[in-house]
Chain A
Amino acid sequence: MSFWKHIKPEFWDHRDVASGRHRHLFNLRRIWYLSVLLTAGVSLMPVFFLAAIDYQVTQKAIESENMLRTSRLVSNARRTLSFFLLERKYALEFLVRDNSYEQLIDNERLNTILANLHDSFGGFTDIGVIDIHGRQIAYSGPFDLVDRDYSRQSWFEEVMEQGGYVSDIFMGYRRSPHLVIAVKHTSPDGRILVLRVDLEAEKFHSELIDIEIRHGGEMFIINHDGILQTPSRRFGYMFEKMILPVPPFSESTQVFETRGPEGEELVVGYAYLEGTPFILMVAKTKSNLMQPWLKARQQILVYLVVSVMVILIAVLVVATYLVSKIHAADQTRVAALHKVEYVNKMASIGRLAAGVAHEINNPLAIINEKAGLMKDLMAQQEPSPLQVKMQGLLDSIQNSVNRCATITRRLLSFARQSDVTLDLVDIRNVIENVIGFLGKESEYRNISIDVDIAPDIPFIKSDRGKLEQIFLNLMNNAFSALSDGGHLQVIGRKKSEKDINISVIDDGCGIHPDDIKRVFEPFFSTRTQQGGTGLGLSITHGLVQELGGTITVESQLGKGTRFNITLPLRGDAAKVEKNGTDSRIAG
């Protein structure tokens, strides 16, 4: 919370201390909220909007690219496998065309062919020639299969019908997966024979693994019944039914999305290999495929977060700055209004005081003259006890009149005018005058006032009325800080050839260190409950400056306060500002 206290702008807890006509115009906190919300909303909305669009577009793009890549992979693999099988089929076709019927049924010749095939293509395990009745008439290979009858086997029927045949992969006698390729040939003289080779499926499988390694994902082959023809890591054992459903026939490569055995999302591509019972399948987990998407998404998020932060910081800083400025301007405005009001009030009081003093002076003069005449008449009488008594009474009437006259004169001089007029002023006289105003209060409250003005202080060129106001304000202040029986001291010293220093010192309650910087601020008051406006010292400060002087304050809580005023011996006319309020006493 102390951090908040530190960064909290000044206007945040602003309370309108100025009641009455000159209220502050703004609810600053509300303005701040509104401007922050509005600017943040307006500037963040497009950012979010763009980010959302970017998010969707990127996701779509990456998804369709994945589909495309899978499709391409399937197509490539399909071509490779088709080529692999066709190559061997064509090799057989070439053999049956290249060799005569006699050559083909010759076991010696067949051995040579098998050896050649093995050397050139690899993977051929045996080769047999079957006549039109299904009897194997020649054979080369590890088994003795001559004269074996295939006539009732379905593949034989198929090869007779279609001219070529590629079998499923099966284990067969050899205990290793292999497949059979058979071609039918009709020799120019009309004799029909079927050439049949066994091919190790290993060779076939290794082609797949090659592609698999290069592109990732899992690639395997099933037959049309969904029986796995090559090993698969995740979709079932070889020669068993694949876990995934068998995709419908399509001439071209297809890609679809589905769920795997563990419920994971899969992208599956497949292609029917033409002229074979095989379906090539490629399965990739979507999460793997979407790896680039995750990266892109992260980038979008980082971008979004960073821009939101930057915008928010900018909005906060700008709003706070502007509202602080409004606050400062408003403070100045209200302070100015209050000062004008204060000056007007002082002027009105001045006029009133002058009028009252003038009106009182006339009857005082009459009382004075009447008493004087009575004294004159008494003096002409023969001396008597009555006459002596009357003389005394009349003297005290005249003394009282003189006291009244002193008061009215003081009032008149205090309320004289508010423009700065430079006169030669005796500072002792000013302070005596001010103390005269406070004399009664100091007597009631038993406050001792000590004035110590050094005798070498000359008359200074300054404004008497303003000086009186300054010291009246300061002493009033001291009086409110002092408890009954306190001490007030006014010390005047010549500081240099150019200026004098007057200190007003009290041993009252003092000022809290937190407040001391603010005592000259307008509206700063610790006596708001007791009717303080917080303007006294601020106006005093202004007055001292108008006279070209400076005012400082030192204070210790509980021990007292000392105000130091430095005044120039010769008033600096440049600093004198006319405040335009003519408060000359109306005659």
Chain B
Amino acid sequence: MEPIRVLLADDEEELVVTLAERLEIRGFVAEWVTTVEAACAILRDKAYDVAVLDVKLPGMSGLDLKRKMARIAPELKFIFMTGHGSADSFNECAAEAGESYFLMKPINIDVLVQKIRQVTGGSVK
């Protein structure tokens, strides 16, 4: 079985670095970016199954980034993370993300893994 490829996008480098390492330990292929531009660039080079995005990135909201990324890679699934924990953004993201999921920081790694498996369940054998 091919490992699930995950792209992490968050402006907190420390967070994404650690998260990527933990996902690697759990058998995923995880790469990370900290800017919108890097995210788009890396998406053109490589293919990913899931993108885990912060709701708020410098210069662009996670939702806009998601739309942008969806145009580049239509098959990509999304999971959102937020430090906000507000019902507003939750409702917005839930409506926007469709099948995607919404997690509040700090996130529980087990929950994240479970969500990743859920969203990719349909496309990855």
Which of A's residues lie within 8 Å of B, judged by CB? 354, 357-359, 361-362, 364-370, 372-373, 376-377, 380, 401-402, 405, 408-409, 412-413, 416-417, 423, 584-585, 587
Contacts and interface: CB of A to CB of B under 8 A. Distances in A.
A496 B18 CA distance: 54
A364 B106 contact: yes
A536 B15 CA distance: 42
Contact of A365 (B56, B83, B84, B87): B83
A405 B56 CA distance: 18
Interface residues of B, number: 24
Interface stretch (B19-27, B38-46, B94-102): B19-27
A585 B84 contact: yes
A405 B25 contact: no
A361 B106 contact: yes
B86 A369 contact: no
Contact of B106 (A405, A423, A584): A405
Given A366-B12, A372-B109, A358 B18 contact: no
B85 A413 contact: yes
24 contacts: A354-B86, A357-B83, A361-B83, A361-B84, A362-B15, A362-B83, A365-B107, A366-B15, A368-B106, A369-B18, A369-B19, A370-B18, A372-B22, A372-B109, A373-B18, A373-B25, A377-B25, A380-B25, A405-B106, A409-B85, A412-B84, A416-B88, A584-B88, A585-B86
B5 to A, nearest CB: 20
Interface in B1-20: 12, 14-15, 18-19
B105 interface: yes
Contact of B85 (A367, A412, A423): A412
Nearest to B21: A373
A182 to B, nearest CB: 139
Contact of B25 (A359, A367, A370, A376): A376
Given A357-B85, A416-B88, A585-B84, A373 B22 contact: yes
Given A370-B18, A372-B22, A373-B22, A365 B106 contact: yes
Contacts of B25: 373, 376-377, 380
B104 interface: yes
Given A366-B18, A373-B21, A376-B25, A416 B105 contact: no
A369 B85 contact: no
B22 A376 contact: yes
A118 B21 CA distance: 166
